[in-house]
Amino acid sequence: MSLNFIEGRLFAGRYRVVRCIATGAMGAVYEVVHIETERRRALKVMHPHLADNPEFHARFKLEARVAARIATEHIVEVFDAGIDPETGMPFLVMELLRGEELSKRIRRAGRLSPEEAVAYLRQTATALDKTHAAGVVHRDLKPANLFLAAVGDDDELRIKVLDFGIAKLVAETALDSATTAALGTPLYMAPEQFGGASISKAVDLFALGMIAYTLLVGKAYWLNDMREFSNTLAFAVIAMYGPQEPACARAAADGVELPPAFDAWFAKATARDPEARFPTASAAVEALAEIFDIAPAPAKSSRLSVVETPLPRAHQTPLPRAYQARASSVPAAAQSSSTGVETRVAAASPRSWSTVAIAAVALIGGGAIAFASLGGGARFAPGNAADAPA
């Protein structure tokens, strides 16, 4: 059975196909209209050859369960899910949004102002704190999975966290090494993910720290390293040790000056020891806001208390000898208190954005690297090359 549904086709007896939005490693996404309500939705269907694969089937179902059990405006809403009786294909029906991935925003505008970055990170933290409280770990947090949706009559920008298809229900999943799979995107993966260790919410907190760097600098912390090595596995050997070069020094090499206090914040956010990281996403973001003298979030948008924890010195873990020489040649971080970051970034007109389905960038398998029980090697989907700068 092909996924090339023609315009006007009726799917599952109640959704009329309008157009194909995107295809990916796990399935395809269509814009559809519910024939009873006439509302436009995003229909996500799994590739037929994967429908009988228990692992992929479970991930597909998990995406619907995550949205159903966690109520927040920062996670895409799922309206329907099931198996089409005619094709036997599992499907999800999700909200259809206008906007763009945060990775595209960065590529278009460059680095973001601290105010804009913190605003997006706060919304992301709201979603993460709720999913973590429900025992759900995302495991593949990155700018391409943070969607800037234009909502309401005034096109207010709102972050939607995408792609919970490789999420892990910690409370319901065995955490033994035999069942652990290191899924994620290399540029944002925590050290324990590369080693196939047990996964906790700390991997999302690590990724949040990496995303903060990307937003403020305009490129991922590990981007140059990943380009330098010949393959993903070679890069993984370095990434398993966590960041070694102070963030401010690395940013300065790209012409961006960050406050000296950012080094300690980044060191805590991306500590190699998961227990040494911030306790919650909101705690991390509010600590970052303080560094840039940004007012605390209103109480109504941050119900979880911010735990004040000391920021450590930059963590140092012994590296492989071949990498030590390269790391030792890094210049010292600048000590100026000036951020050197643009304070105003012109927003693109929402009219220039394409109408896209939230699920279009949530096609499972995009940008994922699999080790341990998944057999090793990297899997890259069409969206990867475009996401690399972020």
For 142-198, how does the pLDDT look when each residue is reduced to its tens digit (9 = 90+)?
999 999 999 877 888 999 998 776 556 554 443 333 333 445 688 999 999 987 778
Q: Predicted confidence band at 234 (pLDDT cuts at 50, 70, 90)?
A: confident
Q: Which pLDDT belongs to residue 110?
A: 93
pLDDT at residue 3, rounded to an integer: 65
Name the residue among 20, 72, 13, 65 with its Cα closest to residue 42.
20
Contact 113, 344 (CB under 8 A): yes
Q: What share of the chain is helix, strand, coil (3-state, %, to 5)?
A: 40, 15, 45
pLDDT value of position 120: 98
Instruction: State in words which class domain 98-328 has.
Output: mainly alpha
Q: What are phi and psi of 117, to 5 degrees?
A: -60, -45
User: What is the gyration radius of the CA atoms in the chain, in angstroms?
Assistant: 21
Q: Is 80 considered catalytic here?
A: no
Residue carrying structure tokens 């023609």: 6
- Reduced to 3 states, what is the DSSP secondary structure of residue 81? strand
Residue 368 · residue 379 · CB < 8 Å: yes
Judge whether residue 72 has pLDDT over 80. Answer: yes
**Residues 382/361, Cβ–Cβ less than 8 Å:** no
Give the highest mean pLDDT range of 194-208, 263-277, 293-307. 263-277
Quote the CA–CA distance of 170 and 50 in Å, as a whole number: 24
- 10 Å Cβ neighbour count for 379? 15
* Tens-digit pLDDT profile for residues 323-372: 444 444 433 333 332 222 232 333 333 333 433 333 333 333 333 333 33
Which pLDDT value is given to residue 170?
54
Catalytic-role residue among 52, 84, 129, 140: 140
Degrees (nearest 5) of the Cα angle 19, 25, 26?
75
Taking 60 as the threshold, does the pLDDT of residue 379 lie above it?
Answer: no
User: pTM for the whole thing?
Assistant: 0.72
What angle separates helix 202-217 from helix 281-291, to the nearest 10 degrees? 30
pLDDT score at 351? 35
Q: Between 242 and 175, where is the model more confident?
A: 242
CA–CA dist 60, 165 (Å, integer): 6
Taking a C-beta distance cutoff of 8 angstroms, is the pair 202, 275 a contact? yes
With 0-12 CB in 10 A as exposed, 13-18 as middle and 19+ as buried, what is 304?
A: middle
Burial class of residue 268 in the structure, from the number of CB atoms within 10 Å of its CB (0-12 exposed, 13-18 middle, 19+ buried): buried
Sign of the torsion formed by the C-alpha atoms of 166, 67, 169 and 311: positive
